[in-house]
Amino acid sequence: MCKTSGNIWRLRAKSPTVIRSLLGLIEDTLPRSDMTMAQIYLEQLNHPAYESHMPIHLLPDSRRAFLRRTLIAGAGLALAPQLSAAMRRTDANSWALLADTHISADPAAVKSKVVMADHLKAAAREIAGLPRRTSGVFVVGDCALSSGELGEYEQLTRLLDPVRDCGLPIHLALGNHDQRDNFRAVLDANPITCRPVADKQVALVQSQSVNWFMLDSLEKTLQTPGSIGADQLKWLAETLDANRKKPAVLLIHHNPGEDKKIAGLKDSAALLEIIRPRRQVKAWFFGHTHNWKFSQDESGLHLVNLPPVAYVFREGDPSGWIHATTRHDGMKLELRSINPAHRAHGQIVDLKWRPRE
């Protein structure tokens, strides 16, 4: 703990218990007159839920004080909502899965009768307020409204701040409405040498019960179909072979393509050839079609179409996000609709993993 200047205090600790006692110490020692406008910055040093060995984005930055609390004299130390969230226990098996946020630079922008920023705001508020913190948040592509302008990513970052302020890492994938250079300019400070596939945005996030593989299927901005490409497929096969023991789940913006009219992933066949025989791969999650649904292929692989956070293509479908709870033999999915009155709100889907052999 240190006092940086004036009434600004900086707390750095690994555990919420330590942070709590440091706050108590400040309250006890600070002269009452100084408490009028003291600001406390809280930094959590480690995120204990998992390790990530690949580039990720929007981590709760250790350089960025992610909490600020203004204390009013005599008001005691009632905790700000973000502060209490940062002190909550993290559930190592809990994850928030989002797709198709379609954020405009203009927070008031409307498409298909939906104010996209309001939808993401509602999802972020709910994620930040969960009684036990999730381990992390995935946004599976089409982060931006249409063509991936810098302003769209800047707005997206602002809307995700409440989630970051709770200390949650956010991993973002690219879709056909994203633009790689602009995305990287705003969201990804990782130097190119840190990227496992130089020109792609891929990540392996290793957690207690699942290895998450986030792949990059953006082929060309504003062109509907997508592809993974040979380099990324090679990386995926090698990385899966090096990580055989734990169940693996893929997060790719594009849906499995179909032979006749391809609007999804063009190299689906090559991808399936890699993942079907590698029995540790249990599921492929995707967005793109803005249509919440789930199925299983003949190899037992789960194919899960995430709902859009933003607008749906077919009236009556739900907009929302998925609260996923992982375990060693499967995953529970709960649909959190932006409209809590939607009939699908709270729907639970229990995925059982296909056997190893």
Nearer to Zn ion, 100 or 188 (CB): 100
Q: Which residue is nearest to Zn ion (CB)?
A: 142
Task: For residues 172 and 138, give the distance between their C-alpha atoms in angstroms, rounded to a whole number.
Answer: 6
CA separation, residue 224 to residues 220, 250, 308 (Å)? 8, 20, 16
Residue 37 DSSP symbol: G
Listed in sequence order, the residues at least 6 apart from 343 whose beta carbon sits closer than 8 Å to its beta carbon are none
Nearer to Zn ion, 177 or 282 (CB): 177
178 binding Zn ion? (CB under 5 A): no
Rounded least distance, CB 146 to Zn ion, Å: 10
Task: Return the bridge partners of 221, or none.
Answer: none
Rounded least distance, CB 287 to Zn ion, Å: 6
Rounded least distance, CB 81 to Zn ion, Å: 31
Rounded least distance, CB 116 to Zn ion, Å: 11
DSSP line for 124-154: HHHHHT-SSB-SEEEEES--BSSS--HHHHH
Q: Which of residues 116-145 bind Zn ion (CB under 5 A)?
A: 142
Nearer to Zn ion, 211 or 305 (CB): 305
Of the ranges 14-22, 58-66, 80-88, 100-108, which one interacts with Zn ion (CB under 5 A)? 100-108
Rounded least distance, CB 339 to Zn ion, Å: 19
Nearer to Zn ion, 311 or 353 (CB): 311
Nearer to Zn ion, 142 or 152 (CB): 142
For residue 123, what are its two tokens?
């999802």
For residue 26, what are its two tokens?
């400040």
What mask of x and - would describe binding to Zn ion in positions 51 to 90, judged by CB under 5 A? ----------------------------------------
100 binding Zn ion? (CB under 5 A): yes
Nearer to Zn ion, 144 or 250 (CB): 144
Nearer to Zn ion, 142 or 267 (CB): 142
Rounded least distance, CB 155 to Zn ion, Å: 16
For residue 312, what are its two tokens?
């749906």
CA nearest to 256, candidates 202, 302, 318: 302
Rounded least distance, CB 224 to Zn ion, Å: 10
Number of residues that bind Zn ion (CB under 5 A): 2
Listed in sequence order, the residues at least 6 apart from 249 whose beta carbon sits closer than 8 Å to its beta carbon are 210, 211, 212, 213, 281, 282, 283, 284, 285, 331
Q: Which of residues 326-355 bind Zn ion (CB under 5 A)?
A: none
For residue 219, what are its two tokens?
């082929």
CA nearest to 284, candidates 321, 248, 308: 248
Interface positions with Zn ion (CB under 5 A): 100, 142
